Amino acid sequence: MMTTETLNVKGMSCAHCVQAVEGSVGKLEGVSSVTVHLDQGKVDVEYNKEVTSHEDIVEEIDDQGYDVEE
Protein backbone atom coordinates (compact mmCIF):
# COMPACT_ATOMS: atom_id res chain seq x y z
CA MET A 1 0.00 0.00 0.00
CA MET A 2 1.71 3.18 -1.20
CA THR A 3 1.29 6.45 0.62
CA THR A 4 2.67 9.95 0.11
CA GLU A 5 3.66 12.26 2.95
CA THR A 6 4.98 15.80 3.00
CA LEU A 7 7.34 16.44 5.90
CA ASN A 8 8.45 19.84 7.22
CA VAL A 9 12.22 19.69 7.62
CA LYS A 10 14.38 22.33 9.31
CA GLY A 11 18.04 22.96 8.60
CA MET A 12 18.23 22.30 4.85
CA SER A 13 19.94 25.16 3.05
CA CYS A 14 21.92 23.95 0.03
CA ALA A 15 22.29 21.40 -2.74
CA HIS A 16 24.29 19.13 -0.43
CA CYS A 17 21.30 19.05 1.93
CA VAL A 18 19.05 17.98 -0.93
CA GLN A 19 21.44 15.20 -1.95
CA ALA A 20 21.87 14.00 1.64
CA VAL A 21 18.14 13.73 2.31
CA GLU A 22 17.10 12.37 -1.10
CA GLY A 23 19.99 9.89 -1.13
CA SER A 24 19.56 8.51 2.36
CA VAL A 25 15.76 8.34 2.43
CA GLY A 26 15.71 7.01 -1.13
CA LYS A 27 17.79 4.01 -0.03
CA LEU A 28 15.22 2.90 2.53
CA GLU A 29 13.41 -0.27 1.50
CA GLY A 30 9.89 0.52 0.31
CA VAL A 31 10.58 4.16 -0.64
CA SER A 32 9.72 4.81 -4.29
CA SER A 33 10.39 8.56 -4.50
CA VAL A 34 11.82 11.44 -2.49
CA THR A 35 11.62 15.08 -3.54
CA VAL A 36 13.13 17.90 -1.49
CA HIS A 37 11.63 21.38 -1.88
CA LEU A 38 14.53 23.39 -0.49
CA ASP A 39 12.82 26.78 -0.76
CA GLN A 40 9.81 25.53 1.23
CA GLY A 41 11.67 23.34 3.72
CA LYS A 42 9.54 20.36 2.71
CA VAL A 43 10.22 16.79 1.67
CA ASP A 44 7.71 14.67 -0.27
CA VAL A 45 8.13 10.93 0.26
CA GLU A 46 6.19 8.17 -1.46
CA TYR A 47 6.60 4.80 0.24
CA ASN A 48 5.03 1.45 1.01
CA LYS A 49 3.63 1.58 4.57
CA GLU A 50 3.87 -2.19 4.84
CA VAL A 51 7.66 -2.06 4.34
CA THR A 52 8.81 1.28 5.79
CA SER A 53 7.25 3.44 8.49
CA HIS A 54 6.92 7.18 8.96
CA GLU A 55 9.23 6.79 11.97
CA ASP A 56 11.93 5.12 9.81
CA ILE A 57 11.87 8.07 7.41
CA VAL A 58 11.99 10.66 10.21
CA GLU A 59 14.89 8.81 11.84
CA GLU A 60 16.82 8.72 8.57
CA ILE A 61 16.38 12.47 8.06
CA ASP A 62 17.39 13.07 11.68
CA ASP A 63 20.51 10.92 11.17
CA GLN A 64 21.49 13.28 8.34
CA GLY A 65 21.40 16.21 10.79
CA TYR A 66 18.02 17.77 9.96
CA ASP A 67 14.95 18.20 12.13
CA VAL A 68 11.50 17.00 11.10
CA GLU A 69 8.70 19.10 12.59
CA GLU A 70 5.82 16.86 13.62
Check residue 14 and report its DSSP letter: S
**Which domains does the chain show, CATH number per domain?**
2-69 (3.30.70.100)
Amino acid at site 26: G
Identify the three-state secondary structure at position 46: strand
* pLDDT number for residue 50: 97
Task: Please give the model's pTM, rounded to 2 decimal places.
Answer: 0.94
Q: What is the pLDDT along the chain (70 residues), one digit of tens a residue?
A: 899 999 999 999 999 999 999 999 999 999 999 999 999 999 999 999 999 999 999 999 999 999 999 8
CB 51 within 8 A of CB 3: no
